[in-house]
Amino acid sequence: MNDKVIVITGASSGIGAATARVVGRRGASLVLAARREAQLQAVAADSGPRAFAVVADVTKRADVEALVAAALRRFGHIDVWINNAGRGITRPVAELTDEDFDEMMTVNVKSALYGMQAVLPHFKERRRGHIINISSVLSRLPFASFRSAYSASKHALMPLTANLRLDLRAEFPEIHVSSVIPGLVGTDFGLSAKHGGPDSRQLPNPQPVEEVAEVIADLIEHPRAEVYTRPIYKQQVAAYYAADDVATLESLPPWVASKR
């Protein structure tokens, strides 16, 4: 990846930090963005000699546009833009407030929209580039009702990603637009969720975050539209949408397990 300049949002922890370490150690030049400066600088220091930290709040369009400008000043071009910033929530549908729902859409959808729109003119000028949006298996499978608004936000992100890919396909075939679809990952995501929640690392069978980072690194090297971080997730999605009545599946694990 010595010739790649990669921007990663939400890079101070979790999937973003792990991805920075994996691709940085393979030689990529990195622009890492997050709000928490100390944590972000620590990740940059551990992600190879060409990792550059930019403190930014990607829920603000101006900050995202400034991030593009900072990356171009530093490295002259951008090859890959990873919209990874996001947050969970622990609250069922009946208890959601306006503020709950608005925050999920702002953090998990609008931040990615800002990133896509901000970097796209540069990619069109170069006629190549790769946008990667980090989604979730909860965008397609309602495993966890307490993640209701998070699931809704990730569901919204999926067609935005696909629609942009379709819009670019004819004129800009070398601009790739991809979704990464992880399931439960062993990070502090659960503890950081709005209204608290279970530690993702203590739930059954979390995927090591390093495995997810390796999937993302492979996607950068071999672009494709969608990638599940474990094959079983793709199988579960296919079974769910092929069912005559999804309610039948929702009475079985893993749906029933999420109610405990």
Q: Give the number of residues written for the chain.
A: 260
According to DSSP, the β-strands at 51-55 and 80-83 are unpaired
- Tokens representing residue 102 in the block: 């608005």
Look up residue 172 and give its DSSP letter: -
Closest alpha carbon to 198 in 259, 240, 156, 137: 259
Active site positions, annotated: 150
Rounded to 10 deg, the angle between the 61-75 and 111-126 helix axes is 40
Of all helices (H) and strands (E), which one includes residue 42? helix 37-45
Distance of alpha carbon 153 from alpha carbon 93, whole angstroms? 13
**In sequence order, what E strands does 103-225 have?**
129-134, 175-181
Q: Is 156 left (phi over 0), alpha (psi -120 to 50) or beta?
A: alpha
Closest alpha carbon to 143 in 242, 249, 254, 235: 254
Which residue do the tokens 């009702």 mark?
A: 145
| HEC string for 124-148 | HHHCCEEEEEECCHHHCCCCCHHHH
Cis, peptide link before residue 254, omega less than 30° from 0: yes
